[in-house]
Structure 1
Amino acid sequence: MGIVIRQSFWSSIAAYIGVGIGYLNVVILMPKYFTPEEIGLYRTIMSTAALLAPIPLFGLKSSFLRFFARNTEKQNETLVFLGSIVFGLLSAVLIGLAVLFKPMLLNFYSEKAAILNEYLWLTLLLIFLTGCHSLLEAILQAKKDIAIPSFIRETLLKFMQASAVVLVGLAIFKVHTFLVFQSAIYLILIIITFYFVSRKFNFQLSVSREQIQESNYKEVFVYARYALLSGLGTVAVIQIDQIMISRYIGLEANAIYTTAIFMAVVIELPRKFIMQITQPVITEDFKANRLDKIHDDYKKASINMLILGSYIFLGIVVNLPNIYTIMPNGDLYRSGISIVYIIGLAKLVNMVFSTNGEIIVMSNYYRVNIFLIASLGLMTIMLNILLIPRYGIEGAAYASLLTFFLFNLFKFLFVKIKFSFSPFSKWTIPTILLIPLFLFINSKFSYAENPWIDILVRSSALSIGFFLFLILGKPSKELLNIIRSIFKKIGLTGL
């Protein structure tokens, strides 16, 4: 697990450079140069593309992660060739269905967000481009390379998007041009990712019948069918609330919601990187029947993600008044403060339950995960339909929190029953209790007039508190070793 934590930690550091750019984009640039309706339009287009992208992907991303470690190189080359054909065919089918049912699609947003109907073609193009990029990413991740795809997706993508916003601010781009330019950004990402993939993987432009017969394509595509349902359910949980808000309330409400969502999403970044490198490791451990190692990694991932997630959560919420003060037109978005708290807690729930979903997916019980995720997706849709008209954007946030908790609880119980695994340790509850403790202490100090100085003071105090917790309590050997290595490099020893 040490190598997992180290790789994930440094990948997280690289990604947080992208987060810094993202915050500049979401908190400063877009509120300054875009109206809330324009931000809502942009977010809804991107969310719709993300929601539908799993359909042409057909579970291939998960299949690559599961089978690459088991296959020979030749089998993997055949798998990628066949998968690319499937992706192209399903993309064509999706576009055809969109054309056939266009009147029905146009009616979906007609009441509160009719302008979205003008960008149906762009949404379809982005579905195809994001799918292509995801396939290439999956190959790198299956090769246990998470640094390059993380840099491309989390840093380079954010930089190009922020640059496009600046071009709008300089009146070089209009908002329409900015939206269309998103497709060019993803095309650039595809080209760059393809270059790095081609250095590690030999693409085949054709395969023989013998190669197909020698591959395990039948097993792969049976698994892919289940992974497709899993992908749709997972993305529905993440994206459906934004789409429903635009449908039921309007684009301005979605701008407020998604701006708050972005602040909360960064809490889960450490989990994302740990999962990227852990999935192929779990696959190999199951293949070698190293169940004790899987259980040990399960616990270590949980406490590490909880510590990192709690630190980031507190760093955000104690500074929320300052963030909205700094934000241009911040009063228009301030009603999203409660959303940050609710979604932030949902992300922490996801982190403390650790790799339960990955353990199920990479085991022989992967079909159970499909059932759970499909149920979760349906639950999310129903709760959003029920709560958004009644409680507005807070209803969408509570729907996410409830579904995340129930989903993880069911997965935890299944893993506990089937494998006798538990992600919790003696440090789980003490780490959780740090959250109300720091929030209570924070409430005793009023905010300074200068938001930048106040952010510096509160963030420094929080960092010192977590540093002392790690050093004195030693809840995580992995994080403590990283701190020691950093101190050693700058000439400090003795920890």
Structure 2
Amino acid sequence: MGIVLKQSFKNTIFIYLGFVIGGINTLFLYTHFLGGKYFGLATFLLSTSNILMPLIALGVHHTIIKFYSSYFTKVEQDKFLTSVLFLPLLVAIPMGYVGNLFYEEISNYLSINNPIIKNYTFVIYLIAFTCAYFEVFYAWARVQFHSVFGNVLKELWNRVVVMLLLFAVYFQWISKEDFIYYLTGFYFLRMFVMMSYAFYLYFPKFTFSKPENFSEILRYSLYIIMAGSAGAIILDIDKFMIPGKEAIEQAAYYSVAVFIGSFIEAPSRAMMNILQPLTSKTLNEENTKEVASLYKKSSINLLLISGLFFVLINANVNQLFNLLPQQYAGGELVVFMISFVKMYNGFLGNNGAIINNSKYYKITLPYSFMMAISVYALNTLFYYQLNMGTDGLALATLIVIFFANTGKLLFVKRKFAMTPFTDKSWSMIGVIAILYVVFNFWDFPLHDIYLWKIPIHQTINILLKSILITGIYFYLVIKLQISDEISRLSKRFQR
């Protein structure tokens, strides 16, 4: 776990820095500088491009991670990288042509209830294309075990750009209408920067020769593209469906609650950047003992960190919503459901990486399609028919991801005879549950504290409560010796 923890630590810093900047953007700058309409528009366009992106990428970013470590000579590696580099164009070019041919019909359909979408429909394709090739070159860097720079581009670049553009809107250097166009341009620039870095790490000798297992590569890519597309639907279909029923501003309000709840997934994203290629390597080497070790260690450490943020977020969520404009209030239940399912994802460690990079990868397709169909059906039931509002959208996400991931957990147990659980897992769950119950319904009795006529009692409450929870949490973790890595770190500081 040495290289995992080292790069994961760096990645976690940048991811949380990105989340901090994203939090400032989402909770304050978007809401005050751009307004609900254009915030909702940006949310819709980006979510729709996320649904489209896996289809354009053709699964190549996953294919690189799975197969690269199976080649042992530069000639074989060059054949492989050359053959997969241009595969996304097989989808991107025809899709762009068809989209241009039927642009009027597509844009009219998407903008039935919100006409503002019509003039920006083409942005969906452009952002999806740049994100697809960004992921390809990011995977290119990750298989060289260099994930940090790409992680900075992925987590920080867009959020810093958004912050700068929002201030540009505030100072009237650009208009709200132009905000989306400038953002699209920076997505292109990010893609080219990632491409340059990937080629700097490893520049192949381009060849027209295909690797001997090209048919297997293509077959894997087709399975993963369909699974990835279904997975993207699960994550972003809710924000896509909102403008079909309500004003586009509602997508902005919902995205704020989802962002708050998703804050806890940062350590998972950081660790997976390096765990995925390592898992692929150990599986290719048939080192099942190391796979099992990675599985258990990733699970307990991710549960430890994500559990802390689960408690912190839900214990402070009421005070946090009090800091926002009134129209954003009422998302506490959404935050709980999204944060719970993100914590559960962390609890499963590198479960998904084990399946995706093993000979059983085909199982991801039926799983993903069942999840996509289920989440669409439940969204339709809860949101359109039962009128449960955005709480219904979050509930659908919780139900589908929880049961699907539990199914994957049982699948790995059956096929690999391993689980991520240890005795410490249940101790960790107990700590999280107790602290959540104790602190969720209690606040410091602070009221009407102002600084230059600005109410700050909510902010003080959040800070004091967070410090208290964090101190108790890590005291219990160290006392119960839940994580070997945390225990070693604490002993080093004690010296």
- Partners in 2 of 1:10 and 1:483 — Cα distance? 19
- Partners in 2 of 1:357 and 1:6 — Cα distance? 22
Q: Of 273, 277, 285, which residue of structure 2 is paired with 1:288?
A: 285
- Partners in 1 of 2:426 and 2:254 — Cα distance? 30
Q: Which amino acid aligns with 1:350?
A: N
Q: Is the deviation greater in 432-441 or in 311-320?
A: 432-441
Partner residue, 1:384: 379
Partner residue, 2:145: 144
CA contact (8 A) 2:47 2:239 kept: yes
CA contact (8 A) 2:443 2:465 kept: no
Matched, 1:372 2:367: yes
Partner residue, 1:278: 275
Partner residue, 1:444: 442
Partner residue, 1:462: 469
1:375-396, CA deviations, whole angstroms, 9 ceiling, x for partnerless residues? 1112112211221112111111
1:397-451, CA deviations, whole angstroms, 9 ceiling, x for partnerless residues? 0010001111111111111111111111112222223333223322233452312
Partner residue, 1:265: 262
SS in 2 for 1:318: helix
- Partners in 2 of 1:409 and 1:452 — Cα distance? 37
What is the CA-CA distance between 1:286 and the residue it aligns to? 1.6
Matched, 1:92 2:93: yes
Partner residue, 1:105: 106
- Partners in 2 of 1:61 and 1:98 — Cα distance? 24
- Partners in 2 of 1:407 and 1:257 — Cα distance? 24
SS in 2 for 1:319: helix
Q: Of 325, 329, 333, which residue of structure 1 is paired with 2:322?
A: 325
What is the CA-CA distance between 1:112 and the residue it aligns to? 2.5
1:353-388, CA deviations, whole angstroms, 9 ceiling, x for partnerless residues? 222221111111110122211211121122112211
Q: Which amino acid aligns with 1:47?
A: S
Trace 1:327-476 onto structure 2 (pairs within 5 A): 327=324, 329=325, 331-389=326-384, 390-442=387-439, 443-446=441-444, 448-449=446-447, 450-476=457-483
Partner residue, 1:40: 40
CA contact (8 A) 1:248 1:388 kept: no
Matched, 1:222 2:222: no
RCO higher in structure (CA 8 A, sep ≥6): 1
Partner residue, 1:80: 81
Q: Which amino acid aligns with 2:355?
A: I
- Partners in 2 of 1:215 and 1:104 — Cα distance? 43
Q: Of 253, 258, 272, which residue of structure 2 is paired with 1:256?
A: 253
Trace 1:477-488 onto structure 2 (pairs within 5 A): 477-484=484-491, 487=493
What is the CA-CA distance between 1:483 and the residue it aligns to? 4.6
Change (3 A) 1:47 1:484: farther
CA contact (8 A) 1:256 1:335 kept: no
What is the CA-CA distance between 1:149 and the residue it aligns to? 0.9
What is the CA-CA distance between 1:80 and the residue it aligns to? 3.0
Change (3 A) 1:319 1:463: same
Matched, 1:27 2:27: yes
CA contact (8 A) 1:51 1:236 kept: yes
- Partners in 1 of 2:278 and 2:175 — Cα distance? 46
- Partners in 1 of 2:445 and 2:381 — Cα distance? 37
1:458-481, CA deviations, whole angstroms, 9 ceiling, x for partnerless residues? 110011012202221111112333
Partner residue, 1:182: 183
- 5+ residue gaps, structure 2, are 448-456
- Partners in 1 of 2:410 and 2:427 — Cα distance? 22
Q: Which amino acid aligns with 1:353?
A: L
- Partners in 2 of 1:377 and 1:127 — Cα distance? 19
Change (3 A) 1:122 1:415: same
CA contact (8 A) 2:311 2:436 kept: yes
- Partners in 2 of 1:98 and 1:156 — Cα distance? 28
1:91-148, CA deviations, whole angstroms, 9 ceiling, x for partnerless residues? 1111122234445523543443232122111111111111121111110112121111
SS in 2 for 1:335: coil
Trace 1:154-169 onto structure 2 (pairs within 5 A): 154-169=155-170
Q: Which amino acid aligns with 1:312?
A: F
Q: Which amino acid aligns with 2:443?
A: F
Q: Of 232, 235, 238, which residue of structure 2 is paired with 1:235?
A: 232
1:176-218, CA deviations, whole angstroms, 9 ceiling, x for partnerless residues? 21100111111221232223212211144x424xx32x45322
SS in 1 for 2:286: coil
TM-score under structure 2 length normalisation: 0.93
Q: Which amino acid aligns with 2:123?
A: L
- 5+ residue gaps, structure 1, are 488-492
CA-based RMSD of the aligned residues comes to: 1.8
- Partners in 1 of 2:102 and 2:359 — Cα distance? 38
1:319-344, CA deviations, whole angstroms, 9 ceiling, x for partnerless residues? 223322333x2x11012222111111
What is the CA-CA distance between 1:246 and the residue it aligns to? 2.0
Q: Is the deviation greater in 460-469 or in 3-12?
A: 3-12
CA contact (8 A) 2:443 2:461 kept: no
1:58-96, CA deviations, whole angstroms, 9 ceiling, x for partnerless residues? 110100000111123333333333323222231111112
SS in 2 for 1:424: coil
Partner residue, 1:197: 198
Task: Say how many residue pairs are matched.
Answer: 482
- Partners in 2 of 1:75 and 1:322 — Cα distance? 57
- Partners in 2 of 1:397 and 1:135 — Cα distance? 30
Change (3 A) 1:86 1:60: same
SS in 1 for 2:274: helix
Partner residue, 1:58: 58
Change (3 A) 1:354 1:202: same
Q: Where in structure 1 do 4 or more consecutive aligned residues deviate above 6 Å?
A: none
SS in 1 for 2:70: coil
- Partners in 1 of 2:148 and 2:159 — Cα distance? 16
CA contact (8 A) 1:5 1:478 kept: no
